[in-house]
Structure formats: C-alpha cells, structure tokens
Structure 1
Amino acid sequence: MKHPRRLVAGLTTLAIAGAVAVVGVRLQQGAAAPGGQAVAVKAKPGADTAARKQQINKLLSARAAAVRKGDVKAFLASVDSKDAKLVARQRMLFANLRQLGFLKLEYSLANEHEVPRLVAKYGPTAFSSRVLMRYQLAGLDAKPVQTDVAYTFVRRATGWMLVEDGAIDEVLSPDGHRQPWDFGPIKVIRRGKVAVVVAQREAALGQKIAIASQKAATGVRRHWSRPWDGSVMVVAMPDAQVLSLLWTSGTGRGWTIAAKAVPVYEGDPTGMRKAAPAGTRIVVNPSVRKELDEDLLVHEMTHAATQRLGRQGPMWMVEGLAEYIRCAVIEDDPAWTVDPYRKQVRKTLPSMKALPGRAEFGAAGSRSYGQSWWVVEYLVDKLGEKKVAALYADLASHENGADAILKKHSGMTPAQLLAAVKKFRG
C-alpha cells in the first residue's frame, strides 16, 4: 500500500532538504557590524601585554577545567558578580556545557580588539578579545574542533574578571560561533551514536527526534558501503540564529530549507578549510522541527556520512547520493513507495541539458534534486552501490579532474552519462 506521508515527502520535502540556499550571515574577520565599534589590533609589545595574556589564558584554562570537573563555583569565580544577568547567562552556559560530554575542552585568547565604548564603560584596563574554544565531543568528533566567543575582561584588585560575553559578536566567525548551548537551557539526548540537542522545555520532542535520527543513521549505513559509525549531532532548537543559519522561504534561490548538515573543523573557524571535517552537526529549521521525520534526516545523515571524505564532489553527486539513499530507505519497507516521485522526475528528463550543478540548483532546486537522484539511481543500477561509493570518494577528495574520475569509474564522459540517464526508466 502507499503511505501518504511518504508520498508527500517524495513530492514536496525534497525541495527543502538540501543545503544550497542557506544564506550565512557573513562578516569579515575584524570588521564591525553596522553600529559596531570593534577594531582588530595587533597586541602591543611589552611585558605588561605578555603578562596580561598569560593571566587571562590561565583564567580561561581554569574555566575549561571547571566544566570538565563539574565545578560551577570555579567556573563563575572569574565572572563579575555585580552583573546578575551576566552571572545568570554564565550559569546557564555551564549547565548546558556539562551535558555535552567533552573529551577535550580548552579556551585560549586569539586576536585582541579595541572597543572604545567598552573602555569608556569599564575603564582603561578593559580588554576585549576573540577567544577560541577548542573541544571534542565524546563519540561524535573524530578530532578536536574549534569555534569562537567574544569576551571582555577588566582588571580588578583580585585579578581579571569577565564583564561582557557578547558585546563584540560581530568579530566572530560568521557560521560557527552561535552554538546551540548559547541560546537558553538545553537538553541533550543520546541514543546510540546519535546526540540530539533541543530546548530544555522540549525534551519530549528531543526523544522523538532521537528515535527518528537513530533509524535514519541505520538506514544510511544499509546503503552506504564505506565505513561510518552513525555518529552525528542533530540540533533542533527553536531559535533561528543557532549556528548562524538564516532560514528563508520563497522560490528559486530563496526556497525553504528544512535542515542542513554543517561540517565542523579542527582549525580556526575563520581560516581556510581545506582539510576534511572532523564532525557534523545537522541543524534543523525551527519551523519544521516538530514535524521532523526519518525521510529528511536520511538525506542529511548521508551528508554526515560522506563529508569526511572531502567536499570537492560535483553537486549532482553530493545531493544525488543523499536523495538516492533517502529513496532507497523509504522503499526498504514494502509498504512505502516513491513511485509518484519517479513519475515526476521522468517528466523532466527530456528537457535536461546538463548534469545538475550550482546554476541548475539555483534556478530550479526541486527539479535539480530529482534529476541528481536519477543520475545516481542510474549509476547504482549500472555499477552497484559499492562502486558508486568508490566514485563518490574519488570525486570528493579531488578538486580537479572530475571528468577523468567519472570516466575511470563508469567508462563514460559526462555527456555520455547524461544521454544514458535521459533514457533510463528506473
């Protein structure tokens, strides 16, 4: 029999399952947001500057140790006790961080920023800086990854004190620093290799998403032949700012995105990212978090499973594989089908002019997802899942030579593949 929810997924959620139209809030490192006052500066030479850096790094190290040990008193010892709101935010941060399960956690000063308004507010000792947070989550990250925060410290009789924890956010990495633990109390739910982060008040929703996520990861592993243990964090928070994603709606380049697989990296989040990701966060659009199901998660889980191979693959392969596995998992159950989706995609084949790339996805995202699925469906029919996985890995790890790699694995040029795909009936 046909499962109506799955048919809807096959016809409509496909257009919102990808990562093409996500718009990041982009600001250059060191540049102030409109109305901002932070200016990146080089540290002034001298014993005082070196001593200050050493003292504040020691303070930051103590805060990291306090999280690992579960010592809230030590964590708050360097927070300005006169600012009740700051203390409350930092206490919440500590409670959130304690749920995550760190293998490693370190903080260190990065680049200093001069902020005249904060100097005017706190006095001449006010010191503002971007601070790197280097961490590794148990069972999720292959290596330590980094994000950043913005802190302002003031010298008091007892030592340096934290007085601001978000006054210069404009100097931070645009797509990394707005972490889920920064937006209200959270609940972390672990189920197998999957960790789900939700708002504390939505713990029941988190349990539901954790069950669906574990099923999705299992489904991906059935159809992805290369090693992946199913480790991933799913973030389903109500706040749209989490991880700085901007959720949009409309048509063309503004079509709604339901979720995005966000890679996390070992190096400074403002630097060039040529190495493979060390982990993945699947971030769910707040507007669909309560309807989230296995269909959408399988697509994004496929990205989580493949991102560590590299990110050089052509879009038709990256999104086509995710859609192939999504559809395959649906049809693992004989009660479900994506036949209506097949019929819809077949109708677009006569007008297909190229293997879908960025231009095609930008102009017609829904159609491009379907056609990319059809390309991979054809390749699996011709080569099998294992050989397609090998093709994917080769493409993903090489910035150039995609045509030669395709020819090596499939015996076809892109033009020959396109012609074969248009004739393929599935």
Structure 2
Amino acid sequence: MINQRRRLFAGVAAVALVATAGFVVATRSGDSGTPRGNTAAAAEASGSLTDAQKVVRKREVNVLLVQRSNAVLHGDMKSFLAAVDPAQSTLVARQRTLFVNLRKFDFASLRYSLADERKTAALTEKYGPTTFSTRLMMRYQLTGLDASPVQTDLGYAFVKRDGRWIIVADNAIDGTLSRDGHRQPWDFKEIAVVRRGKVVVVVDKSEVALGNKIAQSSEGAIAAVRRHWPRPWSGAVMVVAVPEARVMATVWSTGTGTGTGWTVAAKAVTLYDGEPLATKTTPPVGSRIVVNPSVRKNLDQDLLVHEMTHVATVPIGYLAPVWLVEGIAEYVRCHAIEDDPHWTVDPYRKAVRTKYLPSLKVLPGQKEFDVDGDKSYGQSWWATEYVASKVGVKGMASLYTDLAVHGTSPAAYESIIRKHTGETSTQLAAAVRKFKG
C-alpha cells in the first residue's frame, strides 16, 4: 500500500534527420540541371550566395528532407542515413539511433522542411564556406494520439561537397531552438514504446517492465478523469518516462519559492501546430505527459490523474487562468483518490484550510505559483471546489471552457467570471477564503 502522505501530495507539485555511408542524395543547382557558369560556382564556393541562389539551395535541401521523411515512413534506413557525413562515425551512430526510435512510432504523417537560416561562425570555420546551418520544421501526426498534426523545430548544418548536400551537424544550434520542442523522446538513447489501448508509454529500451506498469496505471487514471471531468475526451495519451532529463527541456526543480517539496514530478507539455518560437494564437493540438526521471520508477496513479486532466482540458483553449487550469486538475485528482473508500484527502483539506486560505487575497496567478507552489495549488483546488459547489461540476466545466476560449483580456476575464458565478474575481476570492467545503 502506498504511503498515505506521499499519495496525497505526490501530484501537488506536478504541473504543470534524417545514412549508411556511401550513398548521398545528388542534387545540382539550377532549374534544368545543366552545368552552371564559373561565376555561380565561385559564389557558392565562397558562401556568398545571391537571393536566387539561396532559393535554389532551399529547394535542393528540401528534396533531401523529403527523402528522409519518406525513409522514416517506409522503413528505409539506408536512404535515411544517405546524406549524413560518412566521415563522422558518432554522427552516423546518433542518426541511426534516431531512425530506429522514430520507426517505433506510428506516424500518420511526417514532413521535414527548411525554416530560417541560423549562421554559425564556428560551424563555417569547421566545415567551410558552403556550410548552411538552419532550423528545420518537423511537422507530424501520430496515429491514434494526435487529432491533427503538431510541429516542432530541429537544428541541422549542411555542407555541399562535389555538388551534393550532406549533413555535418545535428545539434550545433540547439540553443537557438524552441525550449520545449526540439528535444523529443526519440532524440537520445534507444527507447521502447509500450502500447496499451489508447495509452502509449515511452521508456528506455531496458525498462519495458516499467513501461507496462505505467501503462496499467495510466488506464486507471484515464478512467478517473472521465468520471470527474464532464466534457468528452478520447483518452488517448502519451506518457514519456525515460532516464534522460533533457527530453522536452523540462526544468525539474524551480530553484526558488518557499513551498516545501517544490519539485516538479511530471508535466503535461502542450503541443501546437505552428511556429514553435511564436506567441501562441491558436488552440493547442494536445499534450505529452513527461515524467521526472527521478520519480519514473515510483509513479503514483493520482499524479497521472492530475496530468491527464491537463491532457483532457488543454485542447479546449489556452486562455484559461492558471488557478483554474491547476485547480481543475487537483479537483479531479482529489475526487479520484476518494473514489477508493480506503483513501481520503482530509489531511490535504485540513492543510489548505488552516495554512493556505487565511492568506488568500487574490486567486493565484503565475507569480504566486512561482513564489509558493504548495500554497498556490492548494488555493486553486479550493477555489475550484467552491465553484463546483456553487454552479455544479458541469457549470465549472462551462466556466473553464468560456475562459479558455474567450478570456482574451482582463475585462473579458471579469465578465466571464461574473456571468458564470455571479461574482467579481475579488468577490470570488473572498468567498473561497470563507468556504468550508
């Protein structure tokens, strides 16, 4: 039996390309493939390209990228590795592992394309003036998981040798890429992918037994979310529980704040289809649950319930306030715990009433979460319990939906709060502080 205190509090702080050497894709500059003049060749050799020559380069490299995406979809490792510099054994080995990992997923679609050039002096000095370092876009859809395609960025460097482009670096410009996106589960050591119903669990190749255990817990967590969240949800989810801490660039400890135990145990990483570095203006496509490597072998089901509530609610919209986003996840988690007559959240309830409510002046925002996570999670849960007691669970879900879609400004936020609760946000905070539950 899981320790009660651990069970009650485990989820509180949880929130939140393409090689066998020898064959190289052959492309030549120019629209017709005819030999070019000495001027064009000299310009390319010096790295001083005109805009027209850059258009040709983009077309040539995109041809290579199409071949690589097709190689993944059709299981052709030789074609995937064909454009990797054969002189770099470490790079070839890393790309081979990437191919093996990608083939373990069921891609409904996959496309790589060029984005923007990222000139890097160190790479040019190392590989010569034709070096082309650039962001790539990886747009893909996983069968049974993604309702529509999602997009992330990668960083590669290409060099032209003997009229052919080859990949010479696949990680040299990582620091300029999106924080969450470019370090995917398939980008490091070899993995195992465990499937159970609509659940996909990604673990280290040596930890299949752990993957099966997490998959089983995930099915129970999905059932709990469906019991306590009234809106439809397919239950399709990916849980990433690998030893590599860099996956999706998660920061596993805040390093600040006064709350006890303020270490992130897992988080739901939101996925979009669009420029990864741009301000998000469209609804999310979905989420992946990423587990802190240090807790992956002792993952509690109620922690998964919290994170899967995020997976169920995120596609609605991205404008809901953090107190309601996290409050609903805690609401579902706590009610799921009390589905079992042998468990209770009374200790947590008591802590919220005695320690966290007396100081509540405003419903917690990101600033409050950053300062004291424990308190902010507790206050957010209690605020959600209050809203559910006042307007019902379906009313609570309607409030979330309205805010997630239409909460575009402080004025809109206040109007929506008043419409659904009959109170201003200030009155709501005061009522939450007095609420006994």
What is the TM-score normalised by the length of structure 2? 0.87
Q: 1:236-385 maps to which residues of 2 (within 5 A)?
A: 236-248=241-253, 252=257, 255-348=262-355, 349-385=357-393
Q: Kindly indicate whether the alpha-carbon contact (under 8 Å) linking 1:14 and 1:366 is maintained by their aligned counterparts in 2.
A: no
User: Residues 405 and 121 of structure 1: is their aligned pair in 2 closer, same or farther, counting only changes over 3 Å?
Assistant: same
Instruction: Name the residue aligned to 1:211.
Output: 216
Distance in 2 of aligned mates of 1:300 and 1:164: 35
User: Residues 303 and 156 of structure 1: is their aligned pair in 2 closer, same or farther, counting only changes over 3 Å?
Assistant: same
**DSSP-derived class of the 1:252 partner:** coil
State the AA in 2 paired with 1:322: A
Aligned alpha-carbon RMSD (Å): 2.0
Percent of aligned positions that are identical: 56
Instruction: Name the residue aligned to 2:414.
Output: 403
Distance in 2 of aligned mates of 1:122 and 1:419: 64
Instruction: Name the residue aligned to 1:30.
Output: none
Instruction: Name the residue aligned to 1:134.
Output: 139
Return the match for 1:202 from 201, 207, 229. 207
Higher relative contact order (CA 8 A, sep 6+): 1
**DSSP-derived class of the 2:284 partner:** coil
**DSSP-derived class of the 1:150 partner:** strand
Distance in 2 of aligned mates of 1:303 and 1:144: 19
Return the match for 1:152 from 152, 157, 162. 157
Q: What's the offset of the Cα at 1:142? A: 1.9
Distance in 1 of aligned mates of 2:423 and 2:52: 65
Return the match for 1:223 from 202, 209, 228. 228
Instruction: Name the residue aligned to 1:5.
Output: 3
What is the TM-score normalised by the length of structure 1? 0.89
Q: What's the offset of the Cα at 1:47? A: 4.1
**DSSP-derived class of the 2:156 partner:** strand
Q: Can you list the C-alpha shifts for 1:118-148, whole angstroms capped at 9, x where unaligned?
A: 2332233222211111111111112211111
State the AA in 2 paired with 1:425: K
2:124 equivalent to 1:113: no
**DSSP-derived class of the 2:154 partner:** strand
**DSSP-derived class of the 1:269 partner:** coil
Q: Can you list the C-alpha shifts for 1:154-211, whole angstroms capped at 9, x where unaligned?
A: 2223621112111222222222111111111011112222211111112211111111
User: Residues 329 and 111 of structure 1: is their aligned pair in 2 closer, same or farther, counting only changes over 3 Å?
Assistant: same
Q: Can you list the C-alpha shifts for 1:50-85, whole angstroms capped at 9, x where unaligned?
A: 222111100110000000001111111111222211
Q: Kindly indicate whether the alpha-carbon contact (under 8 Å) linking 2:361 and 2:430 is maintained by their aligned counterparts in 1.
A: no
Structure 1, unaligned runs of 5 or more: 20-41
State the AA in 1 paired with 2:281: K
Distance in 2 of aligned mates of 1:247 and 1:103: 32
Q: Can you list the C-alpha shifts for 1:12-41, whole angstroms capped at 9, x where unaligned?
A: 32442223xxxxxxxxxxxxxxxxxxxxxx
State the AA in 2 paired with 1:376: T
Distance in 1 of aligned mates of 2:252 and 2:58: 39
Distance in 2 of aligned mates of 1:121 and 1:354: 55
Q: 1:69-80 maps to which residues of 2 (within 5 A)?
A: 69-80=74-85
Q: What's the offset of the Cα at 1:249? A: 5.7
User: Residues 43 and 286 of structure 1: is their aligned pair in 2 closer, same or farther, counting only changes over 3 Å?
Assistant: farther
Return the match for 1:17 from 14, 30, 33. 14
2:215 equivalent to 1:182: no
State the AA in 2 paired with 1:382: K
Instruction: Name the residue aligned to 2:400.
Output: 392
State the AA in 1 paired with 2:220: K
Return the match for 1:412 from 395, 401, 423. 423
Return the match for 1:100 from 77, 95, 105. 105
Distance in 2 of aligned mates of 1:321 and 1:339: 18
**DSSP-derived class of the 2:105 partner:** coil
**DSSP-derived class of the 2:133 partner:** strand
Instruction: Name the residue aligned to 1:171.
Output: 176
Distance in 2 of aligned mates of 1:117 and 1:376: 52
State the AA in 2 paired with 1:258: A
Distance in 1 of aligned mates of 2:150 and 2:215: 23
